[in-house]
Amino acid sequence: MHETRAAHPKKNESPAIPEDRGILSPDQAQTATGHFDLDSPEWSLNRELSWLAFNRRVLAEARDERNPLLERINFLAIIGSNLDEFFMKRIGGLKQQVGARVKLLSTDGRTPQQQIDECYEVIRELLDQQQRLETEVLGLLARENIHIRRYADLNRRQQEDMDRYFHDNIYPLLTPQGMDPAHPFPFISNLSLNLLVATRHKEGEHSYLSRIKIPAGAGIPRLVRVEARRHVYVFFEDIVANNLDAVFPGMVVESCTRFRVTRNAITNRLMDQAVDLLVMIESALRERKFAEIVRLEVDADMIPHHRIMLASQLRLDSRKDVFAVDGIMAKCDLRELVAIERPGLHYPAHMPVDHPKISQDAPNIFHLIREEGPFLLQHPYQSFTATVERFLKEASVDPKVMVIKMTLYRTSANSQIIEYLLDAARNGKQVAVVVELMARFDESANIHWATHLEQAGIHVTYGVVGLKTHSKVIFVVRRDHDGLMRYAHIGTGNYNAVTARLYSDLGLLTSDADIGKDLTEFFNFLTLGYAPQRRYKKLLPSPNYLKKVFLGKIARELEHQSKGRGGLIQCKVNALTDTDVIRALYQASQAGVHIDLIVRDSCLLRPGIKGLSENIRVIAIAGRFLEHSRIYYFKNGGAEEYFIGSADLMQRNLDRRVEVVAPVETPALRAELRGILNLQLADRRGAWDMQGDGSYVQRRPQPDGEQRSAQEILIELNRKKLADEQKVMKRQRRIPKRKKS
Residue 187: partners with Cβ closer than 8 Å, 6 or more residues away: 290
Cβ atoms 170, 162 nearer than 8 A? no
Cβ atoms 472, 409 nearer than 8 A? yes
DSSP state of 618: E
Residue 279: partners with Cβ closer than 8 Å, 6 or more residues away: none
Give me the catalytic one of 306, 355, 470, 594: 470
Element (H, E) at 479: strand 473-480
DSSP, residue by residue, 346-362: SPPP--PBPBTTB-TT-
Beta bridge partners of 596: 570, 617
Cβ atoms 358, 365 nearer than 8 A? yes
Angle at 712 between CA 708 and CA 713, to 5 degrees: 80
Instruction: Give the residue from 407, 391, 664 showing the smallest Cα distance to 523.
Output: 407
Element (H, E) at 336: helix 335-338
Distances (CA, A) of 146 to 63, 104, 233, 364: 19, 51, 8, 49
CA dihedral 96, 97, 101, 107 (to 10 degrees): -170
Instruction: Give the residue from 113, 106, 136, 125 showing the smallest Cα distance to 52.
Output: 125
Would the CA dihedral through 689, 692, 696, 702 be positive or negative? Answer: negative
Burial, 483: exposed, middle or buried (Cβ in 10 Å; 0-12, 13-18, 19+)? exposed
Cβ atoms 25, 87 nearer than 8 A? no
Rounded Cα gap, residues 282 and 444, in angstroms? 8
**First-to-last C-alpha distance (Å) of the chain:** 51
Write a three-state SS string for 574-594. Answer: CCECCHHHHHHHHHHHHCCCE
Alpha helices in 344-400 (DSSP H): 365-372, 390-397
Q: How many residues are recorded in the chain?
A: 741
Phi, psi of 274 (to 5 degrees): -85, 130
Q: Is 608 left (phi over 0), alpha (psi -120 to 50) or beta?
A: left
Instruction: Give the residue from 180, 166, 178 showing the smallest Cα distance to 245.
Output: 166
Distances (CA, A) of 704 to 5, 150, 697: 21, 46, 21
Three-class secondary structure of residue 154 per DSSP: coil
Rounded Cα gap, residues 561 and 594, in angstroms? 9
Rounded Cα gap, residues 44 and 329, in angstroms? 35
Three-class secondary structure of residue 138 per DSSP: helix
Burial, 735: exposed, middle or buried (Cβ in 10 Å; 0-12, 13-18, 19+)? exposed
Rounded Cα gap, residues 161 and 458, in angstroms? 52
Distances (CA, A) of 636 to 272, 558, 559: 40, 10, 9
Tell me whether residue 35 is one of the annotated catalytic residues: no
Burial, 443: exposed, middle or buried (Cβ in 10 Å; 0-12, 13-18, 19+)? middle
Catalytic positions are: 470
